[in-house]
Amino acid sequence: MPRTVLITDVTRFIGMPGTKALLEEGYKVFGTDPDFTDDGKRGAYEKACPGATALVPGSPDTLVTEVVEKGGALDVLINNDAYPAHRAAVEEASDTLLAETFEALFFKAYAMARAAVPQMKKQGSGKIIFNTSAAPLNGLRNYSVYVSARGAANALARTLAVELAADNIQVNAVAPNFVDNPDYFPPELMADPDKAARILKNIPMGRLGKPEEAASLLTYLASENSSFITGQIIPLAGGWASAR
């Protein structure tokens, strides 16, 4: 029986390449996204990813119930949370920015994991994957809000891994930085030679990561081959996360 996956914010970050890679491996993929209140955008996702099912956004409990009803189980939850990394010195960061960033990158992911765990415990197995960032592993000057929110999600992954290990639920985080995607490295940015050069000089490998490379890691962590791996924050950053 195909394993069933739910991916959040699926049109953003590494949701689309992740969907395609999982479909190629035979997974049953459900994707939800804030834009999926629009019939046309749900249809566009399903057309771009034949075999995937687009879900109208709802509460975490509603989404988990719908996946189980339609897919028979919830084997893998991928929290693919994305939100702009706003530059702000700590003394200039507003309460609004702090609240919005943590809501998008931590509280929403926490709520989804909380909703998925009872079903996974009932099944006797499950995997939760957080798509976060390598930024907390080194820190980024003037990005304390974004980095703190991503760091909270990394800490959540490690804590849930310990809490849920005895229930045969593995929890890990894919921590990209400098991976090509329209949310953080839009084409118009990388098309500017000066801006691109300033970005690439920070990467020991001298290039952006490919979306397919991120998707391959997601697919591995979703598979049974990774069932003795839990509590890991895995940088996908071309050497940046170990270069300081």
| Residue 106 to residue 132: CA distance in whole angstroms | 9
How many CB atoms are closer than 10 A to CB 112? Answer: 24
Question: Cβ of 121: how many Cβ atoms within 10 Å?
Answer: 14
Tokens of 50: 């034949």
- Residue 106: phi and psi, rounded to 5, are -130, -60
35's tokens: 């834009």
In the set 83, 143, 146, 184, the catalytic residue is 146
CA distances from 100 to 20, 35, 111, 121, 187 (A): 29, 18, 15, 31, 25
Measure the CA–CA gap between 219 and 118, rounded to whole angstroms.
23
Q: What is the DSSP letter of 63?
A: H
From the list 57, 58, 56, 49, the residue with the least C-alpha distance to 29 is 49
Local structure of residue 88 (DSSP, 8 states): B
Residue 82, SS3 per DSSP: coil
28 close to 5: Cβ distance less than 8 angstroms? yes
Indicate if 146 belongs to the active site.
yes
What are the residue numbers of the active site? 146
